[in-house]
Amino acid sequence: MLNASKHLLFILAPLVVVFALLPGVYQNHLLLFNFVIFLILAQGVNIIYGFTGYLPFGYVGFFGAGAYGFAIMVMHLQTPAPLAVLVGGLVAIALGLLLTPLLRLSGAYFAIANLAASLAVLHFVANPALEGITKGPYGVSLTGTFNPTHAYYAAVVVMALTVGAVIYLKNSPFGLALQAVREDAVSASMAGVNIIKMRVIAWLASALVAGLAGGIYAWYVSVFYPDNVFSGEFSIFAIVFALFGGVATITGPIVGVLILYGIYNLIGFTTPQYFQLIYGLLIMGLVLFLPAGLVSLATRRGWHVP
Q: How far apart are CA 49 and CA 98, in angstroms?
A: 19
Identity of the residue, 154 or 180, whose beta carbon is nearer to another protein in the bound complex: 180
Residues in CB range of 36: below 8 A, 6 or more apart: 19, 152, 155, 156, 159
SS3 percent helix, strand, coil of the chain, rounded to 5, is 80, 0, 20
Q: How far apart are CA 32 and CA 29, in angstroms?
A: 5
Q: What phi and psi values does residue 248 have, to the nearest 5 degrees?
A: 60, 20
**Least distance to another protein, CB of residue 60, Å:** 28
CA distances from 244 to 48, 64, 148, 288 (A): 16, 24, 29, 11
Identity of the residue, 24 or 192, whose beta carbon is nearer to another protein in the bound complex: 192
CA torsion through residues 6, 12, 16, 18, sign: positive
Confirm or reject binding of residue 189 to another protein (CB under 8 A).
Answer: yes
Q: Output the CA torsion 297→3→257→97 (10° steps).
A: 120
CA torsion through residues 164, 166, 171, 172, sign: positive
**Least distance to another protein, CB of residue 45, Å:** 18
Confirm or reject binding of residue 295 to another protein (CB under 8 A).
Answer: no
Confirm or reject binding of residue 227 to another protein (CB under 8 A).
Answer: no
Confirm or reject binding of residue 180 to another protein (CB under 8 A).
Answer: yes
Confirm or reject binding of residue 1 to another protein (CB under 8 A).
Answer: no
Applying CB under 8 A, which of residues 191, 223, 263, 287 lies at the interface with another protein? 191
**Least distance to another protein, CB of residue 80, Å:** 41
Q: How far apart are CA 247 and CA 169, in angstroms?
A: 12
Applying CB under 8 A, which of residues 179, 231, 265, 296 lies at the interface with another protein? 179
Q: What is the DSSP string of 286-304?
A: HHHH-TT-TTHHHHTTT--
Applying CB under 8 A, which of residues 13, 97, 144, 184 lies at the interface with another protein? 184
Confirm or reject binding of residue 192 to another protein (CB under 8 A).
Answer: yes
**Least distance to another protein, CB of residue 198, Å:** 9
Identity of the residue, 145 or 249, whose beta carbon is nearer to another protein in the bound complex: 249
Applying CB under 8 A, which of residues 36, 151, 177, 208 lies at the interface with another protein? 177
Q: How far apart are CA 215 and CA 229, in angstroms?
A: 10
Q: How far apart are CA 137 and CA 93, in angstroms?
A: 24
Identity of the residue, 6 or 197, whose beta carbon is nearer to another protein in the bound complex: 197
**Least distance to another protein, CB of residue 55, Å:** 17
Identity of the residue, 173 or 272, whose beta carbon is nearer to another protein in the bound complex: 173
Applying CB under 8 A, which of residues 132, 190, 233, 272 lies at the interface with another protein? 190
Residues of this chain that interact with another protein (CB under 8 A) are 173, 176-177, 179-180, 183-184, 186-195, 248
